[in-house]
Amino acid sequence: MSGARDVTILGLGYVGFPITLMLAKAGLDVAGVDIDRAKMDAFAKGECPINEPQLQDIFDDVLEKGSLSFLDTPGPSDAFLIAVPTPIHPVKKAADLHALQSACESIVPHLRPGNLVIVNSTIPLMCCRTVVKPILEKSGLELGKDIDLCYCPERLYPGNIAHEIVHNDHIVGGYTAKAAERAAALYGNFVKGALLQTDDLTAEFCKLIENTYRDVNIALANELDLIAGRFDTDIGHAIDLANRHPRVNLLKPGIGVGGHCLPIDPWFIAEMAPEESILISAARRRNDSMPGNIAARIRRAVKDNRNARIGCAGVTYKPDVNDERESPAWEIIEELQGEGYDVRIYDPVMGHGEYRDFEHFVSDADVIVSLVEHAVIREELDRKPSYLDGKRVLRF
């Protein structure tokens, strides 16, 4: 098709941007579209927003090759890949599909017979058929006949994106078998893992099942941790021992479940099947209750000294990522601050806090609370340096 790019990616976040890089690296003519001006300005300067050096190296290479361009709005393209956010309504616990709908609308004027549309965003069950399809068909083209639609969720683990995007197995869920084949061929440009072809609804299920499995597993670990608290025993040790059973694999209890996936995706199942989703909803609530439980534990630790300086280390949603979205650590800190406690904050990965290093931070606190153990914090705590002598340390 003359003048059309090979692929246009809409939404250049944690998933869309790495895919854009990999397709451009493979030699395709790729355009990236995002509504965030600041982000687009950073891209124009060659800055990779994700804190992974390997991705920055790939970005440098593709910019030099000239196979990647950034656009404010999409234009003609052989394939469109939509990777915009699908957040959750905080009260209704239902998917907010505005960004997805508007991305679909934005490509309608450019759709031509033979186009392939890939949805990558995490979506509720049946979304391809009930939300995406009717919008695309406003073009006058028929899905499955004139244009193809495929749902291809990602499984990227923040912190290890550059490796996983290539080596993970990918689910490729076509509205038709032909759509799955075409999308698999496109992904085959950079994916070395298996390209597992299925239908769109099964692919929607897979994505949600994966994160729900993890969320429910963590909820069980958290609940066991609360139960162990009654008996003053170390649940971490008990779980390690239980996991020596060949068919048991419990995850770790913690301060709660954050990030932009686990706290949200299970609701995308529950929203579509509320009556059946008893366990899924309960697990979500258990994990959401954890920051409050941890704040209570910290309060108990300083009950003899209401004015104790509480040093909280780590504020991101998990260790060693520079991402604070849905961070349980902030919930805990804000709860304590709201009650007037004197909280000091240190996070070397986010660059938060006024402290030049961990020792400096420790010197300014009476109780050290390790909320999110980045490697640098863990190493210091494990080393047990003398500057920690006499300090109460709580590790979660």
Binding residues for ligand SAJ, per CB under 6 A? 154-158, 210-211, 214, 218, 251-252, 254, 257-259, 261-262, 317-318
* C-beta closer to ligand SAJ: residue 135 or 191: 191
* C-beta closer to ligand SAJ: residue 123 or 136: 123
Nearest approach, Cβ of residue 323 and ligand SAJ (Å): 8
- 133-138, long-range: CB < 8 A, 24+ apart: 133/175, 135/101, 135/104, 135/105, 135/108, 136/104, 136/107, 136/108, 136/111, 138/105, 138/108
Residues in the chain, how many? 396
Residue 343 in contact with residue 272, Cβ under 8 Å?
Answer: no
Q: Which of 155, 274, 165 is nearest to 206 (CA)?
A: 155
In angstroms, what CA-CA distances link 126 with 38, 81, 178, 270, 271?
33, 18, 19, 13, 11
Residue 118 in contact with residue 79, Cβ under 8 Å?
Answer: yes
Nearest approach, Cβ of residue 176 and ligand SAJ (Å): 26
- In whole angstroms, give the CA distance from residue 395 to residue 370: 5
DSSP sequence for 327-394? -HHHHHHHHHHHTT-EEEEEBTTTTBSS-SSHHHHHHT-SEEEESS--HHHHHHHHH--GGGTT-EEE
* C-beta closer to ligand SAJ: residue 93 or 155: 155
Nearest approach, Cβ of residue 88 and ligand SAJ (Å): 13
Nearest approach, Cβ of residue 251 and ligand SAJ (Å): 3
The answer to whether 207 is a known catalytic residue is yes
The answer to whether 303 is a known catalytic residue is no
Nearest approach, Cβ of residue 260 and ligand SAJ (Å): 7
Residue from 25, 133, 207, 318 carrying the catalytic annotation: 207
Nearest approach, Cβ of residue 144 and ligand SAJ (Å): 28
Identify the residue whose tokens are 């869920």: 173
Nearest approach, Cβ of residue 258 and ligand SAJ (Å): 4
Identify the residue whose tokens are 């402290």: 355
CA atoms 138, 140, 144, 148: torsion sign? negative
* C-beta closer to ligand SAJ: residue 143 or 239: 239
Return the ∠ at Cα 70 (arms to 112 and 165), rounded to 5°.
Answer: 85
Residue from 261, 303, 318, 384 carrying the catalytic annotation: 261
Token output for 126 = 């049946």
* C-beta closer to ligand SAJ: residue 31 or 203: 203
Pairing label, strands 309-313, 68-71: unpaired
- In whole angstroms, give the CA distance from residue 50 to residue 322: 8
Query: Burial of 114 by CB count in 10 Å (0-12 exposed, 13-18 middle, 19+ buried)?
Result: middle
* C-beta closer to ligand SAJ: residue 48 or 302: 48
In angstroms, what CA-CA distances link 361 with 261, 306, 331, 347, 381?
31, 20, 21, 10, 13
* C-beta closer to ligand SAJ: residue 206 or 308: 206
Q: Tell me the chain's radius of gyration from C-alpha atoms.
A: 23
Annotated catalytic residues are 207, 261
